[in-house]
């Protein structure tokens, strides 16, 4: 390949390397160096093999960043849930009014900061998705033999257009169908209100200019309180699995066993549901798992909705100290709550 030969000679001349060019770090360093010396270097026509390798490396490194971001997002959800639970203790004796709770949540300094951080993380994730799609698109074009000269510019321009399209969206358009946003707001709401049903998402994302005006008409139905019960075992959900065909969830072992024992396909066990489930249409539901764990804590502390109310916060703390002696999870949770409390003081 003549073009490759020419380039590696050029590399040797510029960085003075002996030519024992290992792929990977050395190559990347050479590229960076060449781009500095000759900004046009990255814009020279590239051959298929080299282009394919470069774009594949780009997609892979974007994927690594996205994975790390995903971990931070999960941590942020946990922190927000803990924080909301701690705050709920300060408002336990107040009457429950959905709109007042929404306003209090929005006006709390820490919760609103967490909300901003969370949305910023989702935006960053959307940006990474855009960059990965653009890089994959570029990789395909190179593989198909498209004549491409300004490769770097093509990538940046294309990504920039899509990013501008994203940032011109309203919050409702950005987050309304985002699974992680849903996970965040349900956990925060239930933790903040001792397990009350979470209001319609449109209340969390008020209509702004640019949103469909008729969009707000049909959401004034009451929020449903989740009972976290498995329709098969009739006990609290364990290792919850959710259906991707209907809004139903089950204890993991119970639904998997049911499907297997029915020859790989079982009608949804919720009466009135006409979906038929396979192992491919149910999935472990991490968001629900967090909500169940918070629910179990509330029940244990006697503050689930409908629970006979009466224990004060001080009593609860004393009780939990006794109960928690041989329970590491609960103990860790108590310590975390105390740390949050101390941080706020
Ligand atoms: Zn169902």
Q: If you ran DSSP here, which 8-state letter would residue 273 be given?
A: -
Q: Are residues 142 and 249 in the same domain?
A: no
Q: Are residues 112 and 247 in the same domain?
A: no
The answer to whether residue 220 is domain-embedded is no
Ligand 1 centroid to residue 160 C-alpha, Å: 42
Ligand 1 centroid to residue 247 C-alpha, Å: 6
Point out the residues of the chain with pLDDT beneath 70: 1-47, 215-222, 305-345
The span from the CA of 273 to the CA of 180, in Å, is 26
Q: Which of 290, 307, 324 is the last residue of a domain?
A: 307
Q: Are residues 281 and 188 in the same domain?
A: no
Q: Are 4 and 47 in contact (CB under 8 A)?
A: yes
Q: Where are the beta strands (DSSP E) in the chain?
A: 240-243, 249-251, 266-267, 276-277, 282-284
| Domain around 128 | 41-206
Q: Quick one: pLDDT at residue 177?
A: 93
Q: What is the pLDDT of residues 162-172, one digit of tens each?
A: 999 999 999 99
Q: Quick one: pLDDT at residue 86?
A: 92
247: domain CATH number is 3.30.40
Q: Which of 206, 232, 253 is the last residue of a domain?
A: 206
Q: Are residues 111 and 187 in the same domain?
A: yes
Ligand 1 centroid to residue 248 C-alpha, Å: 5
Q: Quick one: pLDDT at residue 181?
A: 96
Q: Are residues 261 and 158 in the same domain?
A: no
Q: Quick one: pLDDT at residue 146?
A: 79
Q: Quick one: pLDDT at residue 53?
A: 85
Ligand 1 centroid to residue 251 C-alpha, Å: 14
Q: Are 174 and 122 in contact (CB under 8 A)?
A: yes
The answer to whether residue 245 is domain-embedded is yes
Q: DSSP characters for 54-112?
A: HHHHHHHHHHHHHHHHHHHHHHHHHHHHHHHHHHHHHTTTSPP-HHHHHHHHHH-HHHH
Q: Are residues 146 and 246 in the same domain?
A: no
Q: What is the pLDDT of residues 81-105, one digit of tens each?
A: 999 999 998 877 788 899 999 999 9
Ligand 1 centroid to residue 268 C-alpha, Å: 5
Number of domains composing the chain: 2
Closest CA to 330 of 286, 299, 307: 299
Q: Are residues 55 and 199 in the same domain?
A: yes
Q: Which of 206, 230, 253 is the last residue of a domain?
A: 206
């Amino acid at each position: 390949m003549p073009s490759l030969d020419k380039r590696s000679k050029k590399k040797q001349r510029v960085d003075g390397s002996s030519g024992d060019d290992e792929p990977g770090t050395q190559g990347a360093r050479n590229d960076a160096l060449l781009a500095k010396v000759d900004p046009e270097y990255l814009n020279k026509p590239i051959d298929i093999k080299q282009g394919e390798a470069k774009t594949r490396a780009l997609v892979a490194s974007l994927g690594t960043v996205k994975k790390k971001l995903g971990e931070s997002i999960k941590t942020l959800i946990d922190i927000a849930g803990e924080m909301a639970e701690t705050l709920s203790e300060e408002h336990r004796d107040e009457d429950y009014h959905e709109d007042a709770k929404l306003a209090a949540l929005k006006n709390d300094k820490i919760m609103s900061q967490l909300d901003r951080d969370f949305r910023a993380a989702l935006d960053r994730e959307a940006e990474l998705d855009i960059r990965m799609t653009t890089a994959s698109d570029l990789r395909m074009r190179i593989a198909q033999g498209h004549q491409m000269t300004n490769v770097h510019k093509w990538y940046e321009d294309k990504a920039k257009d899509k990013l501008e399209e994203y940032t011109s969206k309203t919050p409702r358009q950005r987050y309304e169908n985002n699974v992680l946003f849903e996970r965040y707001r349900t956990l925060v709401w239930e933790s903040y209100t001792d397990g009350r049903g979470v209001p319609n998402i449109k209340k969390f994302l008020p209509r702004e200019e640019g949103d469909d005006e008729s969009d707000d008409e049909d959401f004034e139905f009451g929020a449903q309180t989740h009972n976290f019960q498995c329709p098969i075992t009739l006990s609290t959900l364990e290792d919850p699995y959710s259906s991707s065909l209907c809004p139903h969830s089950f204890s993991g072992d119970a639904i998997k066993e049911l499907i297997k024992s029915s020859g790989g396909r079982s009608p949804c066990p919720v009466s009135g549901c006409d979906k038929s489930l396979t192992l491919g249409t149910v999935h472990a539901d991490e968001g629900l798992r967090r909500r169940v764990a918070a629910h179990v804590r509330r029940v244990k502390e006697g503050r689930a909705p409908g629970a006979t109310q009466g224990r004060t916060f001080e009593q609860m703390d004393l009780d939990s100290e006794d109960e928690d002696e041989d329970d590491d999870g609960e103990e860790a949770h108590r310590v975390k709550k105390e740390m949050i409390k101390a941080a706020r003081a």
